Structure 1
Amino acid sequence: MRVCLSITITEMTYPTHSTNGTNRSDVNNDIKRYDWDEYTQGLILSSFYWGYVITHLPGGILSEKFGGKYSLGLGMLSTAIFTLLTPVVVEWGESIGLIVLRILMGLGEGTTFPALNAMLAQWTPPEERSMIGSMVFAGAQLGTVLANLLSGLILHSYSWPAVFYVFGGIGVLWFVVWVLICYNNPYEHPFISEREVKYLHERMNEHTHVKPPPVPWRHMLLSTPIWALTAAQVGHDWGFFTMVTDLPKYMSSVLNYSIKDNGFVSSLPYLVMWFCSIASSWAADRIITKGIMSRTNVRKLGTTIASVGPGVFIIAASYASYDRVLVVAMFTIGMAMMGTFYPGMKVNGLDLSPNYSGTLMALVNGIGAFTGIITPYIVGVLAPDQTLGQWRLVFWIVLGVFIVTNVIFVVYANGEVQYWNDPEFVIRDREERRLRKETGRQTPPKNS
């Protein structure tokens, strides 16, 4: 639902002048199109993230307090409804209406990753965290694959409103299934075996609690590993959002792919990325379990591969000029290497604080999501004519951000549970601060 607009907008608007020489007279005039320039399209594509960043923190706090089931589910349902309404709103309000609607969609989806993290903390033993966490988070890549592939096929046979009806309808059906089969933790699940409940309790009871004390904000915000993780998230999101939001436009404007082929070539990198994320996650858990490498170093290695590799290969793609096969191969290899982000920094929040993983994900992912606002705007400003040279500058910026943020993560990251995750520490710390505050009030002024 979030991604399908990236390819659909190429059919909603008149083509931008580019190397393929397409102009308004070449397009099918039976389809309703809008005269939105690259700047306006950048605003539309980034507006989702304006709402997305707002609900991260409330979503994380609510998920830790009440469980992630309905924090995530109701957010997805609202997004599905807004997706279904997209053709009507665009017809009525054009770009302004679509921007408002995308902000509302972002508000709904902002709870997703914090809620997922809160639920994963209740269901994943430490030695299985890379694999299970990556499988869940990398599901987003399968969504991107399906969004690009199906959107291309739908747009080839039908007009663009059909894309939003299909994905909005799937979203509503998903919500029904989610409500029926999802449970916040093992203790609520009606069909789980006693053996599995006992196993999960024994493996996780030291650092994971169903009802932890309130978030220790002071310690969390002063934690160096958290800010290192935040830097890595910013780098990942900068590169990923540039690709997921604008790759279909690159394939259409620079390489002149038809809408049907655009859906396929735009989805291929994410499919390969998904396979890489699953394989590297399995390897990461094996390496940690066998003591070959510490959990901290596994997280650093995965993040480094996923930063340097994609940055280098998307630059290579831009220098492959108009060689379609080589360009797609470069993008695909680069995005495949990005798959190691999942056993790298993406599950690192679960390492640092299982008890406050929802809030931690909200903080880290929420800050990273600001790049979703920035990157489409940068593409709109730096690549107004959608030329190869303009896109090359965009990709050089991506590489620079990747390298800087990865260096910060490698120097300061940590893969172990932090001291402030312990409920006893949090309670004792709060009590000590309360006593100091009361003592300070009772102390008479020096001049009295």
Structure 2
Amino acid sequence: MAELSPTAGESNYSQDIQVDEKLVPKKGLSLCSTRYGIALIIHVCNFIAAAQSTVINITMVAMVNTTDHQFQFNGSTEQLPGGPNNAPDSLPAEAPTYDWSPQIQGIIFASAAYGMTLTMALSGYLAGRVGTKRVVGVSLFASSLLIIFSPLAAELGLISLIATRMVQGLVQGSIFGGQNALWERWGPPHERSRLCTIALSGMLLGTFTITLVGGLISQTLGWPFAFYIFGGIGCVYCPFWFILIYDDPVSHPWINVTEKEYIISSLAQQIHNGLLSALPFIIAWVIGILGGYLADFLLTKNVRLVTVRKIATFLGNFPSSALLVALPYLPPSYITTMTFLTLSCGLSPLCQSGIYINALDLAPRYSSFLMGTTRGLANIAALLAPTVSGFLLNQDSEFGWRNVFLLLFAINLSGLIFYLICGDAVVQDWAKGRKLTRL
């Protein structure tokens, strides 16, 4: 976090660049190095975690008795034929379906989000203390077990499923938050963007994969098998994680001596600031929950639903972007920098009550698929941000962060303006069920 300071932070980064240029290893070493192997292992870990996090968004279509809800919404009591539970005939007979309304589905989706935000802060601090290997490894194994038992939890009842999802959010937040501490010891500043991009891109691939095959698995084998397969993959992968991952180059038994010295030397002047790095996430957790209560309060005051969604999106998008873009133009102050960065990160979850759940308003029947797809597309930002930021910083070490913040502000503002103009909260015609008449 200290590297983001508009003055001292940029100076530190510039000093790191100058030091690293003297320590860059010979060409051809990096791509075959241990640190890139570590990035690839984390890539697979993120692939599994993202697939497990998104699987219920895809299988919800098969889990829910959608035919019953679509006619309730359209004010008709007619039902489609298709078995005792009105389940679609194309689904396997052994796959149960549940009578969950769109509101209940929204609660199920959101149940994992609160715990995830909380543990992303705590796990980052804990990983810096006891090591990323233990925090992420144990969390991935726990997440895999919870995914496997999710169909049983759904069968036991709605409360059981929501409780399982909440615990799953806690452990999955530890996966995504805990891994960042690893790059404090493995990522030379000159290569940190590339290494993080390789690692984070696993989330995009995982979301893409479960979106692509989740529906096929649900249709051919039954929706529980989507949970069993990706939970089983996680359980099988965990032993490899514990064998291959080490918290720092010093403790790694197979690393090349030259590479070890290069990494240690390049990180000699880095600042460790785990508590302050975790602070924005705990602020975000609190504000995210309060934002949900605020949105529901406005609805009780007869504020239009679309207006509530746009207010929440604006409050979560514009102030956080404006705080970042203002940083380089303020007098240098450590307290001001940390305050602005913390508030910028903390205000973002207000969008959870806005555009994040807007799919439930527009198309309740297809909201699970839409939320899974849009979440996958959103992960492109995690893939591109480190690369673009590293490029801008290398191009201009003095004003690099200012350019990064300006680009971020421009992207966020353009998206916000488009949503404020075109956003809606009315069920779309293509998402409404068709009324069938019997002969």
Q: Would you call these one fold, judging by a TM-score over 0.5?
A: yes
Deviations 1:244-296 (A, max 9, x none): 777599667369xxx9xx5xx87766666666654554343233123276232
CA distance in 2, matches of 1:122, 1:245: 37
How has the CA–CA distance of structure 1 residues 123 and 241 changed in structure 2, closer, same or farther, with 3 Å as cutoff? farther
Gaps of at least 5 residues in structure 1 are 320-382, 392-448
Q: Is the 8 A contact 2:102 2:360 kept in 1?
A: no
Q: CA RMSD in A?
A: 3.9
Q: Offset of 1:184 from its aligned partner?
A: 0.8
Deviations 1:158-185 (A, max 9, x none): 3211111111111112212211211111
Bigger shift: residues 192-201 or 9-18: 9-18
What residue in structure 1 maps to residue 390 of structure 2?
A: 285
CA distance in 2, matches of 1:276, 1:49: 19
User: What SS class does the counterpart of residue 192 from structure 1 fall into?
Assistant: coil
Gaps of at least 5 residues in structure 2 are 1-51, 82-86, 284-333, 432-439
What residue identity is the alignment partner of 1:160?
W
Deviations 1:339-376 (A, max 9, x none): xxxxxxxxxxxxxxxxxxxxxxxxxxxxxxxxxxxxxx
Does the alignment pair 1:96 with 2:159? yes
CA distance in 1, matches of 2:103, 2:168: 21
How has the CA–CA distance of structure 1 residues 98 and 10 changed in structure 2, closer, same or farther, with 3 Å as cutoff? same
Q: Is the 8 A contact 2:204 2:380 kept in 1?
A: no
Q: Is the 8 A contact 2:64 2:99 kept in 1?
A: yes
Q: Is the 8 A contact 2:137 2:241 kept in 1?
A: yes
Does the alignment pair 1:13 with 2:64? yes
CA distance in 2, matches of 1:122, 1:313: 41
Normalising to structure 2: TM-score of the pair? Answer: 0.60
How has the CA–CA distance of structure 1 residues 167 and 114 changed in structure 2, closer, same or farther, with 3 Å as cutoff? same
1:67 counterpart (131, 151, 155): 131
Q: Offset of 1:318 from its aligned partner?
A: 5.2
What residue in structure 1 maps to residue 331 of structure 2?
A: none
What residue in structure 2 maps to residue 176 of structure 1?
A: 239
How has the CA–CA distance of structure 1 residues 57 and 277 changed in structure 2, closer, same or farther, with 3 Å as cutoff? closer
User: What SS class does the counterpart of residue 133 from structure 1 fall into?
Assistant: helix
Q: Is the 8 A contact 2:120 2:178 kept in 1?
A: no
How has the CA–CA distance of structure 1 residues 89 and 268 changed in structure 2, closer, same or farther, with 3 Å as cutoff? closer
What residue in structure 1 maps to residue 116 of structure 2?
A: 52
Q: Offset of 1:75 from its aligned partner?
A: 0.7
Deviations 1:35-67 (A, max 9, x none): 111221111111112332443344223211121
What residue in structure 2 maps to residue 119 of structure 1?
A: 182
CA distance in 1, matches of 2:239, 2:77: 44
CA distance in 1, matches of 2:352, 2:117: 16
What residue identity is the alignment partner of 2:105?
Q
1:5-404 correspondence to structure 2 within 5 Å: 5-15=56-66, 16-17=69-70, 24-25=79-80, 27-28=87-88, 30=93, 31-92=95-156, 94-208=157-271, 215=275, 223-234=335-346, 237=349, 253=365, 278=383, 281-291=386-396, 294-312=399-417, 387-388=427-428
Q: Is the 8 A contact 1:251 1:266 kept in 2?
A: no
Q: Offset of 1:68 from its aligned partner?
A: 0.8
Q: Offset of 1:89 from its aligned partner?
A: 1.5
What residue identity is the alignment partner of 2:124?
G
What residue identity is the alignment partner of 1:139?
G
- After TM superposition, the runs of 4+ consecutive aligned structure 1 residues lying more than 6 A away are 219-222, 240-246, 265-268
Q: Offset of 1:131 from its aligned partner?
A: 3.1
What residue identity is the alignment partner of 1:7?
I
Normalising to structure 1: TM-score of the pair? Answer: 0.59
What residue identity is the alignment partner of 2:395?
K
- Identity among equivalent positions (%) equals 22
Q: Offset of 1:303 from its aligned partner?
A: 2.7
Q: Is the 8 A contact 2:102 2:364 kept in 1?
A: no
Q: Offset of 1:311 from its aligned partner?
A: 3.6
CA distance in 1, matches of 2:113, 2:379: 23
